Amino acid sequence: MRAATALPKLFGTDGIRGKANEHPITVEMAEKLGKAIISMIAKDDDTPKIVVGRDTRASGMDFQKAFARGIIDAGGEVLLLGILPTPAVSFAIKHENADAGIMISASHNPAEENGFKFFNSKGVKFSEEEEAAIERTLESKSFRIVGAGPKERDIEGYRAYKKYLISGNVLSGLKIVADAGNGAASFIAQEVFEKAGAEVHVINNRPDGTNINKECGAMHPQHLQEEVLRQRADCGMAFDGDADRLVVANEKGEIVDGDAVILAIAKDFLKNGELAKKAVVVTEYSNTALDDELEELGAKAVRVRNGDKYVYEEMKKHGYSLGGEQSGHIILAGNTTGDGILTAINLAAIMKRTGKKLSELTKMEKKPQVLINVEVEEKKELGTLPLTAAAISSAERKLQQLKGRLLIRYSGTQNMLRIMLEGNSKEEIKRLAEDIATAAKKEIGA
C-alpha cells in the first residue's frame, strides 16, 4: 500500500495564497478550513462565532460561501462582513465579540490570485502554532460536524470601523489624492477622508472583480504621482487590495516608502511622549539609515523577521507603540495589524498639526539599497544551487568592503526569490544583486 504523503505547509508569511481555484485556494479547501477552525476552537456544545470579510476579487464570493458552509456544518455561526479592508476584520472580531475571523484576500497580488488570512479572538493574525494546529486538523480530517448549525447572517461590516477611523475635523485644509487600487479601500476612502475634513480626490475606486491592483494602488503608484501634481495636492495615499498597506507620494509627486513614514510618525510620537520605550519595531528589509536616524533622536530600531504579524508579536511582547515594514504595513498602538487608511490619516494629521510639507516630514538620507525579485518554478534550498550559492558567497565577501549587508529569501506569499543588497555603492550592489539574480534564473527561474 502506498504511504500517504505529508500535508505540505499551506501557510506563508501572511496566511495562505495562490492561484484562485487551484490548490490550495479552492472552494473545497475553504470549506475544510471553515470546519477545521471550528473544530480547533469549539468546546462541547459551544457555538463559535466567526466573522468573514473579503476584498473585491471576482473569486471572493465563492470562497465566502464555502467558508460559511464549512463553519455552519461544524456548528458555528457566520457573520458576513462583505467587502472591507483587512484591518476592519480584526476590528470587527473585537466589536462583535467573535471567536475568530477570516479575510479572503491576496493583498497586493494580481486579481487571478486569492488567499485566506486568519485572526484569533483578539483580532491578532494566527501564530505559527495556530497555523500548525489548523494543518494538523486538516491532515487528520477529524472535523467537528454538528449538522445544520446556525444560519449565516449579514452585519454592517464597517460602520463601527469607519467611526473609529475618524476623530474630528483633523484634516481640514488639506487636499489629498487617494488611490484605492480598485480594492477594499474603494468603498471607504472617500467617506473617511471627507469626514476627517480633507478635500479628497479618489482614483481607481471602480472595482470590477478583475482590476484589483492592476497598474494602480500601492504596487503601481505612477498614476498617484501624476494625479498629485495635476491636482496640486498636499500628498497622495495609495492602498493595496485589502488596504492594510500604504504607499505615499509627497507634494512633489515623489514616492515615500514605509521607512520614511515610520520615521515621521516616530518623531511625532517622541515629541508627544507616545513612543513607548523609545523604540520602533521594523523588519530585516528596513534601510539601516532608519536605525541611524532613530539613534540620533535617542531612540532605537528593534528588528524582526519579515511579516507584519511578527512586528506585532514583538510590539505586544515588549509593549512597544509603533512598528512596521518598509513595504507600508504600519502598526500603531492599540492595533493588531497593519492599517493603510489609519496610517494615512495619522500621517496627514501630523502635516496638519505641524504645518509642514510631507517632503520635509519624511526627509531621510537612505543608504543605497537594491531589491530584485526573481520568479521561480521551485523553492529549492539555495545551498544546493551551485551557481546561485557561488554568486551569494562572492557578494558577501565584497559587501564586507562596502559596509553592506545581504538578505535573500523566498517570498512567503508568491513563487519569488527576493534578493536585497544594501551598501555604500549603488552601482556595485546593483551589479552584485544582478549576478545573483542571473544565476538564480538559470537554475530555478520560471
- With H, G, I as helix, E, B as strand and everything else as coil, classify residue 410: strand
Angle at CA of residue 178, ends 173 and 179, nearest 5°: 170
* 3-state SS track over 66-118: HHHHHHHHCCCEEEEEEECCHHHHHHHHHHCCCCEEEEECCCCCCCCEEEEEE
In the sheet that holds 246-249, the strands lie side by side as: 199-203, 175-179, 235-239, 246-249, 255-256
What gap in Å lies between CA 330 and CA 262, rounded to an integer?
7
User: Residue 437: enclosing H or E segment and its boundaries?
Assistant: helix 426-444
- For residue 420, CA distances in Å to 11, 282, 406, 414, 431 come to 23, 16, 6, 16, 12
Give, rounded to a whole angstrom, the gap between the first and last alpha carbons of the chain: 35
What gap in Å lies between CA 308 and CA 12, rounded to an integer?
12
- Are the C-beta atoms of residues 321 and 274 closer than 8 Å to each other? yes
CB 47: neighbour CB atoms within 10 A? Answer: 13
Name the burial class of residue 306, with classes exposed (0-12), middle (13-18) and buried (19+) by CB atoms within 10 angstroms of its CB: buried
Q: Point out which residues pair with 79 in neighbouring strands.
A: 51, 153
Angle at CA of residue 290, ends 288 and 296, nearest 5°: 115
Q: Point out which residues pair with 117 in neighbouring strands.
A: 103
User: Which residues carry out catalysis?
Assistant: 107
Peptide bond into 207 cis (omega under 30): no
Handedness of CA 270, 273, 276, 277 (dihedral sign): positive
- Are the C-beta atoms of residues 357 and 256 closer than 8 Å to each other? no
